[in-house]
Amino acid sequence: MSLKLSYTPLCMGKLQMMIDTNRLRCDVPVDVTQLMATGLFSISPQQKEGGFMLENEGIDHFKATINIEVQWANEAVIASVERNGGFITTAYFDPLSLTAAIKPVEFFGRGIAIPRRMLPPQHLIDYYSDPKNRGYLADPAEVARERFLLAQKYGYELPDVNASPNKDILLERKDPRQIFFGLEPGWVVNLKDKVILKPTDPELKEHFAS
């Protein structure tokens, strides 16, 4: 039995086109949920699909400034995103968390608490802890250093994020145990009454905490 996951390829050219035609909203950080909300992709976690991986095609024409979170990215892709002032993170989603992330409305309809996202398996933990891959488990200080080094390697000036109008969106990050931005594990979202139910029991809170 193979544990290797397969990833849906997403070319940089397609990503740029989705942004140009307003198909992908850029006023929020882009992650698996936002990419699936375009309706242009299908992911089945039961078939051992891990999420999205960014491909090199169309890398030269990539001009958007985005905060993107995918499951796999190579060096050239990372450089193209950072050159335009954006941020890229690679994050692992275990099958249950991925099922929740790709179809949030269906998941909230089940009425269960948002689960804690699990850590990557042994063969992937090195990838996601490496600052060169902008892994979500890597030390942010090391990631910042790698950003600077990559800019030197590819020969571009790293834009200052503090000067950007989208500073808040670009600097938003998820906790390693979080599936959705702003929503913590343990919460139950009631779409009908438009409220969020949060547990108050200290045992439950400890269970769901990071």
Partner 1 sequence: MIMALKPCVRQLGGVAQVWRCVSRSIAHQTYRITAGNTCHDINDAQKAAGPTSARLPRLRHTIPESYEKVEVSTAEWSYVERLLPLKSIPKPTGNPGEVMPSGWVVPSAKPGDYPYFVPRSANHMLPVYLLHKPILSKHVTSVKHVQGDIFALSEELREHLTQLLPSRKIINMRVHEPHQMIQIKGQFVTELKEFLLKKGF
Binding site for partner 1 (CB under 8 A): 13, 16-17, 19-23, 28, 33, 36-37, 39, 58, 61-64, 104-105, 108, 180-183, 188-189, 191, 194-201, 203-204
Closest C-alpha among 56, 71, 57 to residue 4: 71
| Cβ closest to partner 1, residue 76 vs residue 188 | 188
Q: Least separation, in Å, of the C-beta of 127 and partner 1?
A: 27
| Cβ closest to partner 1, residue 149 vs residue 196 | 196
Q: Least separation, in Å, of the C-beta of 123 and partner 1?
A: 30
| Cβ closest to partner 1, residue 62 vs residue 92 | 62
Q: Least separation, in Å, of the C-beta of 37 and partner 1?
A: 4
Q: Least separation, in Å, of the C-beta of 12 and partner 1?
A: 9
| Cβ closest to partner 1, residue 6 vs residue 38 | 38
Q: Mutual orientation of helices 140-154 and 75-83 as an angle, nearest 10°?
A: 90
Give Cα separations from 19 to 12, 13, 55, 65, 96 (angstroms). 11, 10, 16, 10, 29
**Do the beta carbons of residue 77 and residue 54 sit within 8 Å?**
yes
**DSSP-assigned states of every residue in 140-156:** HHHHHHHHHHHHHHHT-
Q: Least separation, in Å, of the C-beta of 187 and partner 1?
A: 8
Quick count: other Cβ atoms within 10 Å of Cβ 109? 13
Over the Cα atoms of the chain, what is R_g?
A: 17
| Cβ closest to partner 1, residue 105 vs residue 163 | 105
